């Protein structure tokens, strides 16, 4: 890539503060900037790096007022963090090419239907009656089962396993070794102390614009569907159990799990290693701190929960203060 400051400002609808002809060819973190790179400043605790950063261009918020001279050209935008994400998307889209390709060592069953410019890598398998939308990439070694439906402009990375009958929307990204549609963890205890497997006959529905991290598992339902709704982002090593519903635009950090039949609202933030027990309901805009463990419903939207069992933030802080005080006796 090669962009001038004025070009970037036009793309991001920002304004240039400095040399409009300043040119960049790469991205760099603000603490390790170098000539020819573009960095961004969004977190106040990194402000001291702005004054010594060697990057040619720095994206800053429009409200930023420097306390010292800044050698780099600044591009002022509404939100620097969102702006750098938009710029990365723009650059990636320019590099991305769509072409029809089928690896000679792949296997596509004759009844599968592939849209225009679908990429199928070597050793990938696409089952009977599967449907793949246009410009989707199925990378090497991926498994797409019978009757699977995958939308357009998706990316299915190497080693992904999508079980038969699963439904994937448009612009979905599934990272390496994720498993979509394995059986849920359902067993009935018998009188002799053994466990009888409960068959799972449902499926998984992944809506548009979802991203699923590496080694994450989304299990199919006993009946009906496990649903991950539009715009949701799941990190690596997450577990979404059978019959769960995850609301739109929710984010879930690594090593978190949602047990069976729970329903998580929209715009929720689930920190790392959070556990949500089964058959619970979580209100919209709920946040969970890392390692929180939820065992009861969250009815009021917009609250933050910490600890195990998870309780509202202010209640947690009062309890923590009392705990610290008791430890000093």
Question: Which of the listed residues 62, 78, 95 is the one where a domain comes to its end?
Answer: 95
Residues 182 and 308 in one domain: yes
For residue 270, the domain's CATH number is 2.160.10.10
- The pLDDT assigned to 111 comes to 98
Residue 81 lies in a domain: yes
Whether 193 is covered by a domain: the verdict is yes
Q: Which domain holds residue 82?
A: 3-95
Would you give the end-to-end CA distance of the chain in angstroms? 62
Q: Are strands 167-168 and 203-206 parallel, antiparallel or unpaired?
A: parallel
Give the phi and the psi of residue 112 in degrees, each rounded to 5.
Answer: -70, 145
Domain harbouring 12, CATH code: 3.40.1390.10
Looking at residue 329, its pLDDT comes to: 60
pLDDT at 240: 98
pLDDT on residue 97:
78
Same domain, 81 and 211: no
- The answer to the question of residue 328 being in a domain is no
H or E, element range at 324: helix 313-327
Per-residue pLDDT of the chain (329 residues; tens, 9 = 90+): 799 999 999 999 999 999 999 999 999 999 999 999 999 999 999 999 999 999 999 999 999 999 999 999 999 999 999 999 999 989 887 777 788 899 999 999 999 999 999 999 999 999 999 999 999 999 999 999 999 999 999 999 999 999 999 999 999 999 999 999 999 999 999 999 999 999 999 999 999 999 999 999 999 999 999 999 999 999 999 999 999 999 999 999 999 999 999 999 999 999 999 999 999 999 999 999 999 999 999 999 999 999 999 999 999 999 888 888 876 76
What distance in Å separates the CA atoms of residue 133 and residue 113, rounded to the nearest whole number? 8
Q: In what order do the strands lie in the sheet with 26-27?
A: 15-17, 73-77, 57-61, 37-40, 26-27
User: Which of 80, 95, 110 is the C-terminal boundary of a domain?
Assistant: 95
108 located within any domain: no
Looking at the fold, whether 83 and 198 belong to one and the same domain comes out as: no
Query: Cα(231)–Cα(249) distance, rounded to whole angstroms?
Result: 4
The total number of structural domains that make up the chain: 2
140 found inside a domain: no
Tell me whether residue 290 is in a domain. yes
User: How many Å apart are CA 221 and CA 237, to the nearest integer?
Assistant: 19
pLDDT at 327: 64
Please list the active-site residues: 242
- Does any domain span residue 100? no
Q: How much is the pTM?
A: 0.86
List of residues 6+ apart from 276 with CB closer than 8 A: 256, 257, 258, 259, 262, 264, 270, 282, 288, 294
Last residue of a domain, one of 44, 66, 95: 95
Q: Do the domain assignments include residue 261?
A: yes
Phi-psi region of 179 (alpha: psi -120 to 50; beta: other; left: phi over 0): beta
**Cα–Cα distance for residue pair 147/158, rounded to 1 Å:** 20
pLDDT at 99: 84
């Amino acid at each position: 890539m090669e962009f001038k400051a004025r070009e970037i400002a036009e793309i991001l609808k920002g304004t240039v503060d400095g040399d409009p002809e300043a040119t960049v060819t790469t991205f760099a973190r603000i603490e390790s900037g170098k000539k020819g790179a573009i960095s961004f400043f969004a977190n106040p605790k990194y402000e001291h790096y702005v004054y010594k950063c060697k990057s040619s261009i720095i994206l800053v918020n429009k409200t930023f007022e420097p306390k010292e001279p800044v050698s780099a050209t600044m591009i002022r935008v509404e939100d620097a963090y969102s702006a750098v994400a938009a710029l990365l998307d723009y650059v990636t889209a320019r590099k991305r090419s769509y072409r029809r390709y089928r690896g000679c060592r792949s296997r596509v069953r004759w009844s599968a239907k592939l849209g225009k410019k679908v990429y199928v890598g070597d050793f990938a398998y696409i089952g009977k009656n599967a449907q793949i939308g246009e410009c989707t990439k199925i990378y090497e070694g991926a498994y797409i089962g019978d009757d699977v439906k995958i939308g357009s402009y998706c990316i299915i990375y190497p080693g992904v396993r999508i079980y038969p009958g699963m439904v994937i929307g448009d612009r979905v990204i599934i990272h390496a070794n994720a498993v979509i549609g394995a059986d849920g963890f359902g067993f009935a205890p018998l009188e002799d102390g053994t466990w009888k497997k409960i068959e799972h006959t449902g499926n998984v529905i992944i809506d548009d614009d979802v991203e699923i991290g590496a080694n994450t598992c989304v299990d199919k339902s006993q009946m009906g569907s496990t649903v991950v709704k539009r715009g949701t982002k799941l990190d690596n090593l997450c577990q979404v159990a059978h019959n769960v519903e995850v609301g739109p635009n929710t984010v879930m950090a690594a090593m978190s799990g949602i047990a069976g039949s729970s329903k998580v609202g929209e715009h929720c933030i689930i920190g790392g290693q959070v556990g949500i027990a089964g058959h619970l309901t979580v209100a919209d805009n709920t946040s969970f701190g890392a390692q929180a463990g939820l065992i009861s419903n969250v009815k009021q939207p917009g609250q933050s929960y910490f600890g195990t069992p998870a309780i509202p933030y202010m209640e947690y802080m009062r309890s923590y203060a009392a705990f610290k005080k008791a430890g000093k006796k």
